[in-house]
Structure 1
Amino acid sequence: MIMNEKIKAAEVLLIGVDGEELGIVPTREALAMAKALKVDLVCESLMSSPPPCRLIGRGAAKQAAQQEKQQARKREQPPKVKELRLTPHIEEHDYETKKSQAERLLRAGDAVLLTVRIQGKEGAQAKELLERLVRDLAPCGQKQSGIQLSGKQAAVQLNPKDG
């Protein structure tokens, strides 16, 4: 981002604070106008001649660029997988609490791994519990694969829905 005195072009296509086009203006005149209005002169593209420049409130351009960088960095990162552990004999209130926790995590963009600890012949109950949770969380997440039953636990991973 090129601002104020760093703009080397002899003349610029000036766009005002409110988005109105002010036409082709010598760079010195545009800088004087920016100082008078207590705003920054920001060059949007060096590819065209004369380069389009915009009058933007002081610091707003830097803040917007910083915010854009932060958003790009956030989009690059893969979603974190958060684990929620349950038991097959869960009470209704506890079920609702775990469901709302999972919903909050999915809406925040993280994947959720739902794990149920199994003892003895609780496999069927665990599978039913996970199927119910997957159904209840369908509006904000979809399962990555089927429910895995293995020895002492049953698990399913839900990924956040896009959009």
Structure 2
Amino acid sequence: MIKNEKIKAAEVNVTGVNGEALGVMATSEALKLAKELGVDLVCTSLYSSPPPCTLISSGKAKEAKQQEKKATRPAKIKEIRLTASIEEHDYETKKNQAQRILEGGDSVQFVVKMSGKEGPKAKELLEELLRDLKGIGQKKTGIQVSGKQAAVQVDPV
């Protein structure tokens, strides 16, 4: 995002604060107008001539940059490991950890390690986690029980 004096083009196509087209004008003139209104002149694309620029308040420009940064970051899948015979306190800790991850915009992969005939117990544990996280997460995959582990992936809502 290029703004104010960093815009090197001689002329820019300016859009006003409320979205109205102000037309093509010299960059110095556009900067003068931006200073008068107390806003920033932000270049939205460098691929056209003259480059389109918008008059945006400083707070909105920063917000737009953060949104752009957030949108470009791919969602990660974080893995949380549990055992089928987990105690209540440990369960709460893992659930809270998953909530923080989901609220941060990343996915969670729950993996329950099993030994012996703990398959139904592991599946029940994952179903309970899915019920508890229902408001902030939804399951992407079904509960997969295979060999010595059971797994499910939960995506943020």
* TM-score grouping bracket, smaller chain normalisation: 0.5 to 0.7
2:41 equivalent to 1:42: yes
Instruction: Give the secondary-structure state (helix, strand or coil) at the position aligned to 2:105.
Output: coil
Report how far residue 42 of structure 1 moved: 2.8
**Is the CA contact (8 Å cut-off) linking 1:14 and 1:30 kept in structure 2?**
no
* Residue identity matched to 2:74: P
Equivalent residue runs for 1:1-163 within 5 Å: 3=4, 8=11, 39=38, 42=41, 54=55, 60=58, 64=61, 67-161=63-157
Moved runs in structure 1, 4+ residues, more than 6 A?
12-16, 26-35
CA gap of 1:156–1:15, structure 2 versus 1, over 3 A, is closer
CA gap of 1:33–1:110, structure 2 versus 1, over 3 A, is closer
* 1:14-41 superposed Cα distances (whole Å, 9 cap, x missing partner): 979xx8x9x9xx9788766766x69567
Instruction: Give the secondary-structure state (helix, strand or coil) at the position aligned to 1:124.
Output: helix
**Is the CA contact (8 Å cut-off) linking 2:113 and 2:150 kept in structure 1?**
yes
CA gap of 1:7–1:152, structure 2 versus 1, over 3 A, is same
CA gap of 1:81–1:30, structure 2 versus 1, over 3 A, is closer
* Residue identity matched to 1:76: T
**Is the CA contact (8 Å cut-off) linking 1:110 and 1:160 kept in structure 2?**
yes
Alignment TM-score, normalising by the size of structure 2 = 0.68
* 1:138-160 superposed Cα distances (whole Å, 9 cap, x missing partner): 10000011100111100000000
Q: How far, CA to CA, are the matches of 2:38 and 2:150 in structure 1?
A: 60
Report how far residue 52 of structure 1 moved: 9.0
**Is the CA contact (8 Å cut-off) linking 2:144 and 2:151 kept in structure 1?**
yes
Report how far residue 72 of structure 1 moved: 1.9
Report how far residue 91 of structure 1 moved: 0.9
Instruction: Give the secondary-structure state (helix, strand or coil) at the position aligned to 2:98.
Output: helix
Q: How far, CA to CA, are the matches of 2:111 and 2:81 in structure 1?
A: 5
Q: Give percent identity, aligned residues only.
A: 47
**Is the CA contact (8 Å cut-off) linking 2:102 and 2:155 kept in structure 1?**
yes
Which structure has the larger Rg over C-alpha atoms?
Answer: 1
1:48 aligned residue? none
* Residue identity matched to 2:77: V
CA gap of 1:41–1:114, structure 2 versus 1, over 3 A, is closer
| Unaligned ranges ≥5, structure 2 | 45-51
* Residue identity matched to 1:93: H
| Unaligned ranges ≥5, structure 1 | 46-50
